[in-house]
Amino acid sequence: MNRPPATAAELALLVEGQLDGCSTAVVRGMNSIEDAAADEAAFIVNEKYAAQWINATTRVAIVAQNVPCDVGDRATRALIRVAHAELALAKALEAFAPAAEMPQLGVHATAVVDPSATIGPGARIGAHVVIERSARLGAQCVLHAGSFVGAEVIMGDHCVLHAHAVVRERCQLGHRVVINACTVIGSDGFGYRPAADGKSMVRIPHLGTVVLDDGVEIGANCCVDRAKFGATRVGAGTKIDNLCQIAHGCRIGRMTVIAGLTGLAGSVTVGDGVQIGGSCGIGDHLTIGNGARLAAKSALMNDVPEGATWGGMPAQDIRTELRVIAAIRKLPEWSRKFRRLSEDSGKAL
């Protein structure tokens, strides 16, 4: 479909859903079920939102198949039942999303490009971009205003640097890598030792680099530090949220997701398909196995086995952690009982 869907029937076709109700109901956008207008489609993923459907202004909703929901007036309203609700929502939002703003084709007059740099065909280089010595950019890269590409950087095809993103010297980006605004790739790692005289700190140089494989996306205001030796590496398809710190020498596998405000200390190894919740802190030199999950706000001090789910502070197997939480919630009650027992014992004496 070359245009956004205009009716419930077209939206159902787009998201590969089963239409129940009015096929001609108008659809001009997407919104939450609380705020959607009559011509905006909503999204129902659980029974809480299903309960709001009957009184909602919207006339069209995408609903997960496992959520019971009655269409109501079939003459004016429509439900689109889908097997994979989140994937259907992604398709719908993409269809209605406005076209991305991009710099004009070519190199902006205010950009500074070293003569030795190579820029592939179809590139869009925005205002005040800096591309330094011997950098190599692949085809159709997009560099938004104020972004920086250091000396000898290699970028594959279709990479995007958003405003004020920084890729420092000698780092390597695969194809379709996206770096969001104000993120820095390739800063020196944090390494200091007390000097022999005990009066100052000695800075440890970091000679390595950063390698981001194909399809990696890094959120805004993140830092991925260069390694002391070799490379800090992020595997293909991995997505890292805003405000994350990836320290020197970390190795992150393929198709891993890391939520915002998470910090990895130096030389952490993360496997493929790992899910790390927001605000986690991960100690240095630890290993997280393939397919493992780490709950939000976890403080990791030990290796996580493959496929395990851990959480807590310090993090442990989630089943043990949930038992600990349940016990902690009973402490006030136990404290009152202990106080009464102590008082009764005192009276008896």
Tokens of 148: 């920086």
Beta strand pairing status for 287-288 and 239-240?
unpaired
| 33: helix, strand or coil | coil
Phi-psi region of 123 (alpha: psi -120 to 50; beta: other; left: phi over 0): beta
Set 84, 175, 248, 285: catalytic member: 248
Given a contact cutoff of 8 angstroms between Cβ atoms, the answer to whether 114 and 153 are in contact is no
Neighbour-count burial for 22-39, b at 16+ CB within 10 Å, e otherwise: beebebeebbebeebeeb
Count Cβ atoms within 10 A of the Cβ of residue 136 and give its class: 0-12 exposed, 13-18 middle, 19 or more buried.
Answer: middle
Question: Is 248 assigned a catalytic role?
Answer: yes
Given a contact cutoff of 8 angstroms between Cβ atoms, the answer to whether 223 and 260 are in contact is no
Q: How many CB atoms lie within 10 A of CB 324?
A: 12
Neighbour-count burial for 74-97, b at 16+ CB within 10 Å, e otherwise: eeebbbbbbeebeebbebbeebbe
Question: Residue length, the chain?
Answer: 349
Q: What residues contact 300, with CB distance under 8 A and at least 6 apart?
A: 280, 281, 282, 283, 286, 288, 294, 310, 314, 315
- What is the spatial distance between Cα 240 and Cα 227, in angstroms, rounded to a whole number? 18
Given a contact cutoff of 8 angstroms between Cβ atoms, the answer to whether 138 and 124 are in contact is no
Torsion of CA 10, 11, 15, 19, to 10 degrees: -80
Given a contact cutoff of 8 angstroms between Cβ atoms, the answer to whether 254 and 236 are in contact is yes
With CA atoms as reference, report the closest residue to 69 among 108, 113, 28, 17. 17
**Nearest-5° angle of CA 261, CA 262, CA 267?**
145
Which amino acids are annotated catalytic? 248
